[in-house]
Structure formats: C-alpha cells, structure tokens
Amino acid sequence: MSTGRLIIDLDAVVANWRALDAMTDCKTAAVVKADGYGLGSVNVAKALFKAGVRQFFVAVAEEAVTLRDALGPKPEISVFSGHMNGDTDLIRELGLTPMLNSVEQMTLHFEQLPDHPFGVQLDTGMNRLGMEMQEWAAVAELALSRRPKLVMSHLACADEPDHPMNPYQLSQFKKMTDGISVPRSLAATGGVLLGPEYHFDLTRPGIGLYGGLPFANATPVVALDLPVVQIRDIAEGEVVGYANAWQATRPSRIATVSGGYADGVARILSDRATLYHGDIPCPLVGRVSMDLLTIDVTDLPDAPRKLTLIGPQQNVDDLARDAHTIGYEILTQLGARYNRKTFGK
C-alpha cells in the first residue's frame, strides 16, 4: 500500500474524556468540531456517547448533519457559531441548540424559531464571539425569561495557567452571570486544568480528548506510519529534492516516503522534521513536496519498509513545535489519502 497508515485509538479518546470528567464535579460535554479535530467526528462521537457523553459541540450547523444521523435524537448538539442566516431549517430539523452570539442572532432566532431551544455566548475579553457586557445587559432579561439551555464564554489564554487574562475573564464572566438560574460554562480543556472555580455547570473539552496539549497527561490517540516507496544510495556532494535544497556531506541512503503537504505534512517541516524507525531518528532532508518526503536512513542497519511520523517517539505536539504551530493544526490537517485504521469502542 502506497498511502500512509493513520491509526486512531477511540479507547484513548474515551479515556481522556473520563480523565477530564473526573477532574470536575459538573457535567462534561465533548467538542467534536472540524470532523472531530480531523479524526472522524462520527466515530469519535459514537464512542463518547457510548461512554456517557450527552452533549456535543460543533462549530457550524452543517457539521451536525452526520452526527445527528449517527447518534439519533438523544444527545444535545450545540453550535458555537449560533443561528446564522440560512441555518434555520437545519436547526429546526436536527434539533440543534445554537449558542446565540449577538443581539442580531437573538432577534433572528426568536423570530424564526420562537419556541426552539438556544444558548447564549458572552464575550469576556477575547473579542471573537459573543455578546459584550453592554449588549448582554440590554437583552439579558428577555433572554433569561425564555430559559436558555446554557450561558457560556471562552477563555483566551487557558493554556497558560499563570496568564492574568484567566482571572480577568473569570471575573468578567461572573460579573455578567452571577445570580442567574441557567447552567453556565467557561472551561474547555485548558479551563478544566485551571481548577474548580472555572468549571461552573458544564465543561467542554476539545483538544484534550484527542491527546493534545495543554492536557499533558493525555493518552496518545493517533499514530502515523508512512510507507517507503524507494531507497537510493547517493554520493557525497549529490543533492536531493526541489531546488537542490539539501546536499549530502557523506555517502548517504535516502528513502523516498509517501506523504507530503497534500497529506498535512507542512512545507515548513522541510529540513526540520524527524521520522523514526523504531527508536532510531531519521531526519527529513530537502523540501517537503506535495506527495513525497526524502528521509536520510543512512544510519539504519536495514532498509525500512515504513517510517513513523507520529508515534511513541514523537507526538502531535512534538511535530507541531518543529512546524512552529500547535497540535490542533497538525490534527485537523491530516489528509484524506491516509489509510485510516480506527479501533476501540
């Protein structure tokens, strides 16, 4: 097989949810947006539903179509982007809970679906989604009289426990919501780790379910092996890849591996990434191309049939550091060409 093998461990996803849930005394939902952070939202959600999750969050209403079909009517599916123009039919037919982000969205929702469930998202300083304090003050009485399912906000710097933005947003959230009789939510994965005062009535872990930081104790969820297509011996001074970007300083063996930026191996990893054969590191040399990588395997005792990009020696966050990005981006850019092997619940 000439495509990479992406292994997805659903038991690990469930274990991570249970570990995060055990840190709180409130309900724990699950964020499965962006196709379950690139790992398959339907399979992930089915495993989590079996484990007891009854509320899921997606980014946009369209992401809920396959979820509702797979999970049936029981779980609540909430939509971070709220009620956008054109979403009304999906929200009604799929029984979705839009998290209304503005006075305009609230007006639209109450006009189009006056008796339909909804939630409210507040902005506590991130300036991304949600109503600011003055907007909320103007509509809070009306909104609360209609019994929203949830009032939430989102932390901007929860992956940095000592960042002053965390207590500031907590203070703002409490100022905007203390005294209401509606369930509240502030914490995603990072907020769970900040401690009980951030947990309120519901937490919404996302990246931690999939094995990523800031949940440093997460069980790894993915592994990725790339097959070797060809191996060649080159002499000292010969060059490899586009633009002659790498030149051998010794007689070398170069393995050409199936995988490239079309598969989510970012071009910035050129001459930076490391693949592994067991515990032996093998540097990526030259440029990442669309479909192929060139790997220096000179130090291996035998010709490899595959090399590991994500596995025991290197997780998604290790790879992300080499790419000057975050594990979220590595996961969500994993390509469609991989032979995906999903196992577990």
243 and 192 share one domain: no
Number of domains in the chain: 2
Q: 344: pLDDT confidence band, cut at 50, 70 and 90?
A: confident
Question: Which entry of 50, 175, 242, 341 is annotated as an active-site residue?
Answer: 242
pLDDT of the residue at 1: 57
Last residue of a domain, one of 178, 210, 242: 210
In a domain, 177, yes or no: yes
Catalytic residue flag (residue 33): yes
pLDDT of the residue at 345: 66
In a domain, 195, yes or no: yes
202 and 102 share one domain: yes
In a domain, 1, yes or no: no
In a domain, 3, yes or no: no
pLDDT at 47 over 70: yes
Q: Is the dihedral of CA 262, 263, 269, 274 positive or negative?
A: negative
pLDDT over 90 percentage in the chain: 98
pLDDT at 194 over 60: yes
63 and 168 share one domain: yes
233 and 189 share one domain: no
Last residue of a domain, one of 168, 185, 210: 210
Q: Is the dihedral of CA 288, 294, 299, 304 positive or negative?
A: positive
pLDDT of the residue at 309: 98
What is the residue-wise DSSP string for 78-116? EETT-S-TT-HHHHHHHT-EEEE-SHHHHHHHHHH-TTS
In a domain, 171, yes or no: yes
Nearest to 240 by CA among 291, 280, 196, 288: 288
pLDDT of the residue at 321: 97
79 and 187 share one domain: yes
What are 152's two structure tokens? 């939430």
Write the CB contacts of 204 (distance below 8 Å, at least 6 apart in sequence).
29, 30, 31, 57, 152, 185, 187, 188
In a domain, 278, yes or no: yes
190 and 165 share one domain: yes
pLDDT at 61 over 90: yes
CA dist., res. 122 & res. 165, Å (int): 16
27 and 175 share one domain: yes
Range of the domain at 249: 222-343
pLDDT of the residue at 121: 98
pLDDT of the residue at 169: 98
69 and 168 share one domain: yes
pLDDT at 177 over 80: yes
61 and 151 share one domain: yes
What is the maximal distance between C-alpha atoms in the chain?
77
Q: 343: pLDDT confidence band, cut at 50, 70 and 90?
A: confident
Helix (H) / strand (E) element for 19: namely helix 10-21
Catalytic residue flag (residue 27): no
pLDDT of the residue at 307: 98
Strand 239-240 and strand 280-283: the pairing is unpaired
Last residue of a domain, one of 185, 210, 235: 210
126 and 231 share one domain: no
158 and 265 share one domain: no
> What CATH number has the domain bearing residue 330?
2.40.37.10
Question: Which entry of 33, 261, 328, 338 is annotated as an active-site residue?
Answer: 33
> What CATH number has the domain bearing residue 28?
3.20.20.10
In a domain, 215, yes or no: no
In a domain, 114, yes or no: yes
180 and 239 share one domain: no
Q: Do you know the residue count of the chain?
A: 345
pLDDT tens column, 214-245: 999 999 999 999 999 999 999 999 999 999 99
pLDDT tens column, 247-277: 999 999 999 999 999 999 999 999 999 999 9
